[in-house]
C-alpha cells in the first residue's frame, strides 16, 4: 500500500516543466520530448543528451531521497554504483520506443514506469 502511495506521489510531482508554455499547451515534458532529447542527433545533440541525463539524474536522485526517508516504499532501485546515467538512459529509450502509443503522456510518469520495470527493488 505504501509503495502505491509513493508511486502516486511520483506521478503527480512534475519534475520538469516548460518555463514558457504556449496558450493551451500543457507545461509538462512529454515522453516524446524526452525520447527526442535522449536520442538527439544533429548540431544540438550534446545539449539534448545532457538534458536527458540531467532529467534522469534528477528523477533517480529524487526517488532515492524519498525511498531513503521511507525505506518501506520502493518504486525503483537503480544501482548507481554499478550503472551509469548513460546505461539508465539506454534502458529508458528502449522502454519509450516499446511504448510509443504512450509518448503523449508526461515524461516523469513514463520514466517512473520504465525504471520500475528495468530496476526493480529486491525484497
pLDDT tens-digit readout, 49-92 = 999 999 999 999 999 999 999 998 899 999 989 999 999 999 99
Average pLDDT over residues 11-22: 45
Q: Just give the CATH number of 2-12+21-118.
A: 1.10.890.40
Q: Where are the domains positioned within the chain?
A: 2-12+21-118
Scored b (16 or more CB within 10 A) or e, 82-102 reads eeebeebbebbbebbeeeeee
pLDDT tens digits, one per residue of 17-45: 444 445 566 678 999 999 999 998 767 88
Report residue 105 as a C-alpha cell: 503522456
Q: Among candidates 109, 115, 90, which has minimal Cα distance to 29?
A: 109
pTM: 0.76
Q: Which residues contact 92 (CB under 8 A, 6 or more apart)?
A: 34, 38, 56, 111, 114, 115, 118
d(CA 52, CA 72): 29
Average of per-residue pLDDT values in the chain: 84
Amino acid at each position: 500500500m505504501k509503495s502505491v502511495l509513493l508511486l502516486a506521489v511520483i506521478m503527480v510531482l512534475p519534475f520538469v516543466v516548460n518555463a514558457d508554455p504556449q496558450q493551451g499547451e500543457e507545461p509538462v515534458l512529454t515522453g516524446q520530448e524526452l525520447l527526442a532529447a535522449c536520442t538527439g542527433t544533429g548540431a544540438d545533440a550534446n545539449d539534448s543528451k545532457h538534458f536527458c541525463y540531467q532529467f534522469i539524474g534528477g528523477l533517480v536522485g529524487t526517488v532515492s531521497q524519498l525511498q531513503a526517508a521511507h525505506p518501506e516504499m520502493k518504486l525503483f532501485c537503480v544501482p548507481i554504483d554499478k550503472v551509469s546515467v548513460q546505461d539508465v538512459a539506454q534502458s529508458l529509450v528502449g522502454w519509450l520506443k516499446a511504448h510509443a502509443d504512450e509518448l503523449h503522456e508526461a515524461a516523469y510518469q513514463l520514466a517512473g514506469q520504465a525504471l520500475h520495470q528495468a530496476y526493480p527493488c529486491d525484497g
